[in-house]
Amino acid sequence: MPVIDIQNLSKVHAADGLSVNAVNGVNLQIGAGEFTAIVGASGSGKTTLLNLIGGIDTPSGGEVLIGGRSIGRMSETERTAFRRDHIGFVFQNYNLLPVLTALENVEFVMELQGQPVTDRRNRAETLLRQIGLGDKLNVRPGKLSGGQQQRVAVARALAHRPQFVIADEPTANLDSKSTADLLTLMEQLNRQEGITFLFSTHDSRVMEKARRVIVFNDGMIQSDTDQ
Amino acid sequence: MNQLLRLAWRNIGRKRRRSLIAISSVAFALLVSISLRSLMLGNYDKMIEAGTKNVGHLQIHSAGYWTGKSINELMTDSPARRQQLAQAVGITHVLARLQNGALASGEKTTKAVQVNGIDPDIEDGFTNLSGRLSKGSFIKNQSTGVVMAEGLARYLKLGVGDTVVLIGQGYQANIAAGKYPIQGMVRLGNPQLNLSQVYMPLPLAQAFFSADGLASAYLLTLVDANQTDPVKNRIQATLGNGFEVMTWNELLPEIKNSQRIDTTIFTLLSSCLYLIIGMGLIGTVLMMTLERRREFGILQAIGLQKSQIRLLIILESLLLGFVGVVVGLALALPFVLYMNAHPIPLTGESGKSFEAMGVEPVLQLGLKPHLFALMGSIVLAIMGLATLVPMGIVSRLKTSEAIK
C-alpha cells in the first residue's frame, strides 16, 4: 500500500473571474522510503500539488489518501492534527520560530503532541547532533546561517517521526555548498532511517540526487522516471 | 498551555521598542487615572468628614420634621433615650440639638439667625466648636449666655459681654423672646453660617422656645461611616414610624450630587484616555498579528490549531497589558501613598473656598485599594478587547495563502 495515493486530483484557483487549473486530474502513488523530486517551471502547479498532499489546501476534485485516509474530507481541525502527527514540512524560507532556540524549534511539534520532556529533548538533541549542529542547540535562528537554519528545519520536520516529509524548494535560498550539505543529509536520512521524502525543485543538482523524478507542467504530470 | 505562554512571553520581547511603548502607555494611563480618581475620592472624604461633623452620620427626628423643619414637629428628649441609642451597636456619639430660626437684634440692627441648642461638652467633642473660638469663652451646660458667629456679631455691632435680644416663634405658638449675654465668638468657615449662627446650651434653648424636654434632632456618629444604611434600618425598626432616621447622604444631597457630577466627568475623561490608549494598543496587537500572518500559517501547517493561535494572541496581549498594569501600579502606589501622607496646602481663593465649606484647604489623595484593582481590570479588559480584530484575522486565515 503506497504512503500517498493520489486519485484524479484537481485544484481550480479562481480570481478576478478567471479560473486556473493549478492541478488537473493527477494520479500518483508514492511508496514508503521513496526519495522523489517533483520538478517543473515556476507556476507549473508543483507547490499547489504539495499543499494538497500535505493537507494545507483542499482539492476541488479527486482525493489524496494518506495511509488510506482521505485528507481532503477531514475538517480543518482534523487536518491540522493529522499534519502534526503524520507529516513533516520543510519550507523554502526555513520558517523557524525566531524566539525559540534550535533545540526548542526541533522540540516544538513533539511538545504540541504532548510528548514527555525527556523523550522529546533526547530526540531533538540526537537529531541536531546527527545533522552536525550539536554545538548550536541553544542558539536562536537569527544567529545561524541559512544552511544551518534549513538543517534545523529538516530536523524539526523529522522529529515527530512523520509518515513522510514534504519539502517545497528546500534549497532555493541556499548557496551551492549548503545545498550539497542539505541534500547529502536528506539522502542519508532517507537511506538510513527509511524516511519518505517528497520535494519540489527546479534545481538540477537536486534532481540528480532524487531516485524518482516527476516532471510537472500546467498542472499535469508530464513524465515520471526512476533513476 | 505552558508552551504557548512561553512563546507569548518571548514574542513580547521580539519588538522591544514597540512593546516598551505599549507598556509605557498602559502604565501612564493607569498612573493618571488612579491619581486623578484618588484626588477626587480624597476630596470627597474631606467633604464628607466636614459635612458629617455638622450633621452627623445619621439623624433622628420626629416623623416629618425634616421637610418643614417646624418647631412644632419636635420629639421628646430624655437622657434615657440618648443612653439607649448610645448603646446600640456601631454608635460612638449621640448629640441632641434643638434648632430653630429667630430674629437677633443689636442696638440698631436686626437679622434672621439660627439658634442652636446644644450639649456643649458632647458637641465640642464631636465638632470641636470651641476650637473655632476667636473671642471670649465657650459655653457650658449651665451657662446662661450664648456663643455667636463672628460675622453675625460684626453685623449686629455686638461684642463679647454685650447682650443680644432674640425673638421668634416658640413651641406650639408660644412666643420665644429673651436677652442673652454674648460669652464668646466663633469664626465659621462657611460665610453664610458665619453670618447666622447662635449657640446656647440645650436647656437654655428649650426654655427660650418653651420646649422643655424636647429636641429637634439627635445626631449619631458611627464607628464605620460606610455602615450608615444598615444602622439606619436597625434604628428605624427599633424606633418605629413616629420617627424618621436619615443618613448624611439624605441630609446633604449636595455632596452626593457633587460626587455624581465629578464621577461623570471622571468617567468621560478616563474613557477618552482609555480610548486613546486602547486604540494604540489595538494598533499594536493588530500589527503584531498582520506582520506574522506567514508565521501563523507556518504554525498551522506544522500542527498548531487556529484556536491555539488565537489563544497565543490573547496571551500576548494580556501579558503586554499585565506588564503595563504592574509597572503602572508600581508607579501609582508610591505616588498616591506620598501624596496621601503629604497633602498639598491650598492658599489664596482656592483655599478660602475650601474653608468656606468647612473643608480643610488641602489637596490630599485618598487611599482606595479597590481603585487599583478596578483600573488594572479595565486595562486588562481593554487588552482582551484589542484581540478581537486579530482573532477575526486568524479565523479567516488560509494556511496555503499565508505561507506563500
Per residue in B5-45, pLDDT tens? 999 999 988 888 999 999 999 999 999 999 999 998 888 88
Q: Tell me which chain B residues have a C-beta less than 8 angstroms from the C-beta of A111.
A: 3
The answer to whether residue A98 neighbours chain B at the CB level (below 8 Å) is yes
Smallest CA–CA distance, residue B226 to chain A, in Å, is 52
- Which segments of chain B have a pLDDT < 50? none
Strands B214-215 and B75-76: antiparallel
Mark yes or no for CB contact B3/A98 under 8 Å. Answer: no
What is the rounded distance in angstroms from the CA atom of residue A149 to the CA atom of residue A156? 10
What is the rounded distance in angstroms from the CA atom of residue B114 to the CA atom of residue A100? 79
**Closest A-chain CA to B292:** A97
The continuous run of DSSP H or E covering B104 comes out as strand B91-105
Per residue in A115-132, pLDDT tens? 999 999 999 999 899 888
Mark yes or no for CB contact A97/B295 under 8 Å. Answer: yes
ipTM: 0.91
Per residue in A148-197, pLDDT tens? 998 899 899 989 989 899 999 888 888 888 888 888 888 888 888 888 99
User: The domain A31-60+69-226 is classified under which CATH number: 3.40.50.300, 3.40.30.10, 3.40.50.720, 3.40.190.10?
Assistant: 3.40.50.300
B56 contacts B216 by C-beta, under 8 angstroms: no
- What does the block give as the cell for A76? 480543518
Domain layout of chain A by residue ranges: 31-60+69-226
Residues on chain B bordering chain A, Cβ-to-Cβ distance under 8 angstroms: 3, 7, 10-11, 13-14, 294-295, 298-306, 399-400, 403
Q: Tell me which chain B residues have a C-beta less than 8 angstroms from the C-beta of A81.
A: 303, 305
Angle at the Cα of A108 from the Cα atoms of A105 and A110, rounded to 5 degrees: 135
Q: Tell me which chain A residues have a C-beta less than 8 angstroms from the C-beta of B10.
A: 99-100
A35 contacts A7 by C-beta, under 8 angstroms: no
Q: Tell me which chain A residues have a C-beta less than 8 angstroms from the C-beta of B302.
A: 83-84, 89, 108-109, 112, 156
Which of 11-70 (A) contact B at CB < 8 A? 48, 51, 54, 56-57
B90 burial type by CB count under 10 A (0-12 exposed, 13-18 middle, 19+ buried): middle
Provide φ and ψ at B111, rounded to 5°.
-150, 145
| Over residues A34-62, mean pLDDT | 91
A169 contacts A206 by C-beta, under 8 angstroms: no
Residue B49 to residues B11, B56, B252: CA-CA distances in angstroms? 50, 9, 12
Q: Where are the beta strands (DSSP E) in B206-300?
A: 214-215, 217-222, 243-247
User: Which residue of A112, A120, A152, A163 is the best one to mutate when testing the B interface, meaning the one whose CB has the most B CBs within 10 A?
Assistant: A112
* Structure confidence at residue B298 (pLDDT): 92
Identity of the residue numbered B359: V
